[in-house]
Structure 1
Amino acid sequence: MTTSQLHIALLAFPFGSHAAPLLTLVQKLSPFLPSDTIFSFFNTSQSNTSIFSEGSKPDNIKVYNVWDGVTETNGNKPVGLEAIKLFIQATPTNFEKVMKEAEEETGVKFSCIFSDAFLWFSYKLAEKINVPWIAFWTAASGSLSVHLYTDFIRSNDETSLNIPGFSSTLKISDMPPEVMAENLDLPMPSMLYNMALNLHKAAAVVLNSFEELDPTINKDLKVKLQKVLNIGPLVLQPTSPKKVLDACDERGCIIWLEKQKEESVVYLSFGTVTTLPPNEIVAVAEALEAKKFPFIWSLKDNGIKNLPTGFLERTGQFGKIVSWAPQLEILNHSAVGVFVTHCGWNSILEGISCGVPMICRPFFGDQKLNSRMVESVWQIGLQIEGGSFTKIGTISALDTFFSEEKGKVLRENVKGLKERALEAVKPDGSSSKNFKDLVELVKCHKLT
């Protein structure tokens, strides 16, 4: 079995928006590595099916299905936390088994293990074969930082926290639930706590962000970890636009935006997982109808049924509802004036990259923390009053961006961050330099 060829093991966390960014990163790395490099992508069957559309798999990526931990479904496939629990219980043996098969099939030993940072046990797998472990953190620098401060946060009796790079308004209530879990032995809290304890063993931690966004946090992370490589925003790297534009045309989003005034449109989207509660859908709908702001709302069928009776007919002249929205193309359009979001990291980074201020309605995970950063640290948006949508609160937030001086300031702030992001991905920018470092690290065959 040869060791001269690069063979990179990619270990994905198959839930939420984790696996797809890892694939995106691989596709961006591939052109900078030897042409015979092999990428073996390890993920559950269900997640692989969702991210590899028919005919989309690159030739140099070999896709392997790892066991999801489910033994007997009786026709009812586990979902949500139960599915995550079963998967975590199956690790790391589910990965080890298929990784061995991949080496035998290719005849090439692994030269590097590149995993989602959640999969902290990857360091053990890498140590066994004496190769580098590179961890990919798919969220913000700030959310990584608070996990590394888990013990400090849990032992703190204050309602506000003093952690480098955060606003003085940071509260215990902003913390991801895993940090504050009553029992750290539960599957998800345990996984993230073990990650925090072992991440310093990674040869590098890669983030889809840029150093200039969180300079103090990144300085602190570099003290705690071997190497911190911000290589984003990945959305500002070259992509193939045709597929996205075709999707836009299919739903008529861009054609519709072309008819709107500059910075006049409200774009609403809450990610692929979250659905607003029915009462909040009604509140948002009533606010949009009352103000008659032009809007595009990405809303699935199970949400559309909760709209007020006659809403679609009454707002048809100034609003557009689609079941799926080509988000990046929409945010990039000059007609969009504000982005109403759940504060998932990909969405926030896209908002920053396109220079669009935000109205935040977080739900779970790191979203509350991201929302706090948007409002209090970067000052590029607002958290919705009271944490959930009401008609009055939504109208007030929208008015801030379209009728008040504060909205202009927030808009200028986010445009400033957009410029810094663009600088970071230029050939001599911080993210480009970090990306080159990552390429060199991946080329290393053995730990020294």
Structure 2
Amino acid sequence: MKKAEVVLIPLPAMGHIVAVVEIAKLLVQRDDRLYTTVLVMHPTVDPSTIKYMESLAASTLPDRMRVINLPSVESITSATKGRHSWLRSLVEGQKPHVKEYVSKIRTQFEMNPNSPRLAGFIFDTFASRMKDVPHEFGVPWYVFSASGAAFIGSMLHLTALHDEQGVDLTELKNSEDELEMPCLANPIPAKLVPSMVFEKDSLTTFLEHARILIEARGILINTFLEFESYAINSLSDGKTPPVYPVGPFVKRIGGGGDPRSDDSNNYRDIMEWLDDQPPLSVMFLCFGSWGSFEEKQVKEIAIALEHSGHRFLWSLRKPSQNDEMQSPSDYEDFQSILPQGFLDRTAKIGKVIGWAPQVEILSHSAVGGFASHCGWNSILESLRFGVPLATWPLYAEQQFNACQMVIELGLAVEIKMDYRNDFYGDNEIIVSSDDVLKAIKSVMEENSEVRKKVKEMSRVSEKTLVDGGSSFSSLCRLIEDMMGNMS
């Protein structure tokens, strides 16, 4: 039996590594000829990634799977200018380490033909500048998108507008126009496209990775056919490499790796509080590992929660001070930021927390609604556990995701879709308590259309990764393609 090794390289950020590790596990579980190695680049984007890596090292991985930390590129620090030049320097700096590791696989096979032979690479969309390495070793490479199929479609369409029609994409930021995109059934307000295209430096990175996509042998996407059927079908255009929807990958409940999973008292306190609440009664607010708001906005949210009368669990984080590459931290005292007396007045119905074990909370029967920044992992988690979303995007492609969920798919309600807090100076927009209140009431409505649709999508998502499911079949096709390359 011929054995094949696949090397996977994620972007070194929490959500990306979690999804790539899940793919690596699935590949070895699906086919006993396959071996997988996940190579993690250092330094990582956020400190929580280090905690996750430590928890992975302590856990039992499937046989034939490894997770390796590459040496850190010493010349790079978080102070390296610009997030996008940081990424470029990181990938370039890691190429020699990846080559060295892969050479060992090659040598091992030459010395012992019973050991696994290098079959190919899977790169994160934003690590695909690494493509020189598989070219050097004469093996194919695939791209993995931790975002959705519509996002990949938007990358390709916006790049075509720029390259073929000379459109200045940075001007879309303040545009009142609507854009037609092949990946969406409905037009999208131009200002909701992924915000990477609005700044010259990040636009260069965006375009570069979109152009590289077309060179890949295939594109794996953390999505499933029944959820994004329109977008997935739009990518079967003869110009785009074959697309493999292989998700949804959702971090396992109790899977560890959270930046604060060792804080068991805090965790227990949250879960015990939820145990005391009636089914579907709690509105959960959580805005991702980089999500935070200034004091004025925090007060508007608090007023809305108090007036809504709904029970709530609110993950409230403190913005980083003067350092755009640092994620928010926990408050030592919530009294300092919340309206006077708020905690006392809402003590019986609400709980304000810092870090939140999001997957565990969303899977709890007490949770009935979720106000979210619309990161792709959070969207998949809300669908997996059947919790309807109220969208409050902050940065990156989150406005695009929010628009897709609300307008395209009818699986969410809007708080404010064009809100941006994109590390480029202060956001002057304040979302009023009235707008927040309206969205909370809408998302918590018991028999709403959105709730029914999300429940149905939850049922479908459970079946996609098991035998006979659409993502199961998609992964089988990918494995066939990889093994076919070796014959």
Give me the whole-angstrom Cα distance separating, in 1, the residues matched to 2:23 and 2:385.
Answer: 20
Q: Which residue of 2 aligns with 1:318?
A: 349
> 2:374 is paired with a residue of what secondary structure?
coil
After TM superposition, the structure 1 = structure 2 runs for residues 337-416 of structure 1, keeping only pairs within 5 Å, are: 337-385=368-416, 387=419, 389-402=431-444, 408-416=448-456
Question: Cα deviations across residues 231-255 of structure 1 (Å, max 9, x unaligned)?
Answer: 111229xx46475999598333333
> 1:217 is paired with a residue of what secondary structure?
helix
Do the aligned partners of residues 10 and 368 (structure 1) sit closer, same or farther apart at CA in structure 2, a change above 3 Å counting? Answer: same
Of residues 165-174 and 437-446 in structure 1, the stretch that sits farther from structure 2 once superposed is: 437-446
Give me the whole-angstrom Cα distance separating, in 2, the residues matched to 1:337 and 1:44.
Answer: 38
Residue 464 (structure 2) pairs with residue 424 (structure 1): yes
**Native 8 Å contact 2:248 2:461 kept in 1:** yes
Give me the whole-angstrom Cα distance separating, in 2, the residues matched to 1:312 and 1:35.
Answer: 57
Of 300, 316, 333, the residue aligned with 1:299 is 316
Give me the whole-angstrom Cα distance separating, in 1, the residues matched to 2:34 and 2:26.
Answer: 16
* TM-score normalised to structure 1 length: 0.86
Give me the whole-angstrom Cα distance separating, in 2, the residues matched to 1:29 and 1:332.
Answer: 26
Of 156, 177, 195, the residue aligned with 1:159 is 177
Q: Which residue of 2 aligns with 1:266?
A: 283
Tell me the CA shift for residue 416 of structure 1.
Answer: 2.2
Residue 246 (structure 2) pairs with residue 231 (structure 1): yes
Letter paired with 2:177? T
Tell me the CA shift for residue 38 of structure 1.
Answer: 5.1
Tell me the CA shift for residue 50 of structure 1.
Answer: 3.9
* TM-score normalised to structure 2 length: 0.79
Tell me the CA shift for residue 333 of structure 1.
Answer: 2.4
Letter paired with 1:64? N
Give me the whole-angstrom Cα distance separating, in 1, the residues matched to 2:270 and 2:289.
Answer: 18
Q: Which residue of 2 aligns with 1:286?
A: 303
Question: Cα deviations across residues 299-347 of structure 1 (Å, max 9, x unaligned)?
Answer: 2324944222332232221112222222222222232221000000000
Letter paired with 1:49? I
Residue 231 (structure 2) pairs with residue 217 (structure 1): yes
The aligned length equals 430
**Native 8 Å contact 2:14 2:52 kept in 1:** no
Do the aligned partners of residues 66 and 390 (structure 1) sit closer, same or farther apart at CA in structure 2, a change above 3 Å counting? Answer: farther
After TM superposition, the structure 1 = structure 2 runs for residues 154-233 of structure 1, keeping only pairs within 5 Å, are: 154=162, 155=165, 159-181=177-199, 183=200, 186=201, 188-223=202-237, 224-233=239-248
Do the aligned partners of residues 373 and 38 (structure 1) sit closer, same or farther apart at CA in structure 2, a change above 3 Å counting? Answer: closer
**Native 8 Å contact 1:111 1:444 kept in 2:** no
Tell me the CA shift for residue 101 of structure 1.
Answer: 2.2
Tell me the CA shift for residue 220 of structure 1.
Answer: 1.5
Do the aligned partners of residues 312 and 193 (structure 1) sit closer, same or farther apart at CA in structure 2, a change above 3 Å counting? Answer: same
Do the aligned partners of residues 66 and 383 (structure 1) sit closer, same or farther apart at CA in structure 2, a change above 3 Å counting? Answer: farther
After TM superposition, the structure 1 = structure 2 runs for residues 64-213 of structure 1, keeping only pairs within 5 Å, are: 64-68=69-73, 70=75, 77-78=78-79, 82-92=82-92, 94-105=93-104, 107-108=107-108, 110-154=118-162, 155=165, 159-181=177-199, 183=200, 186=201, 188-213=202-227
Tell me how large the CA RMSD over aligned residues is: 3.0
Tell me the CA shift for residue 8 of structure 1.
Answer: 2.7
Identical aligned pairs, as a percentage?
Answer: 23
**Native 8 Å contact 1:7 1:38 kept in 2:** yes
Give me the whole-angstrom Cα distance separating, in 1, the residues matched to 2:143 and 2:218.
Answer: 6
Letter paired with 2:227? L
List alignment gaps of at least 5 residues for structure 1: none
Letter paired with 1:19? I
Tell me the CA shift for residue 272 of structure 1.
Answer: 0.6
Give me the whole-angstrom Cα distance separating, in 2, the residues matched to 1:296 and 1:254.
Answer: 11
Give me the whole-angstrom Cα distance separating, in 1, the residues matched to 2:383 and 2:411.
Answer: 8
**Native 8 Å contact 1:353 1:418 kept in 2:** yes
Give me the whole-angstrom Cα distance separating, in 2, the residues matched to 1:354 and 1:166.
Answer: 25
Tell me the CA shift for residue 380 of structure 1.
Answer: 1.7
Tell me the CA shift for residue 262 of structure 1.
Answer: 2.4
Letter paired with 1:338? G
**Native 8 Å contact 2:253 2:359 kept in 1:** no
Give me the whole-angstrom Cα distance separating, in 2, the residues matched to 1:38 and 1:287.
Answer: 48
Do the aligned partners of residues 38 and 27 (structure 1) sit closer, same or farther apart at CA in structure 2, a change above 3 Å counting? Answer: closer
Letter paired with 1:6? A
List alignment gaps of at least 5 residues for structure 2: 109-116, 318-329, 420-429
Do the aligned partners of residues 242 and 207 (structure 1) sit closer, same or farther apart at CA in structure 2, a change above 3 Å counting? Answer: closer
Tell me the CA shift for residue 422 of structure 1.
Answer: 2.6
Residue 41 (structure 2) pairs with residue 23 (structure 1): no
Tell me the CA shift for residue 433 of structure 1.
Answer: 0.5
Letter paired with 2:442? T
Residue 11 (structure 2) pairs with residue 13 (structure 1): yes
> 1:211 is paired with a residue of what secondary structure?
coil
- Runs of 4 or more, structure 1, over 6 Å off, are none
Do the aligned partners of residues 225 and 69 (structure 1) sit closer, same or farther apart at CA in structure 2, a change above 3 Å counting? Answer: farther
Do the aligned partners of residues 7 and 423 (structure 1) sit closer, same or farther apart at CA in structure 2, a change above 3 Å counting? Answer: closer
Do the aligned partners of residues 167 and 444 (structure 1) sit closer, same or farther apart at CA in structure 2, a change above 3 Å counting? Answer: closer
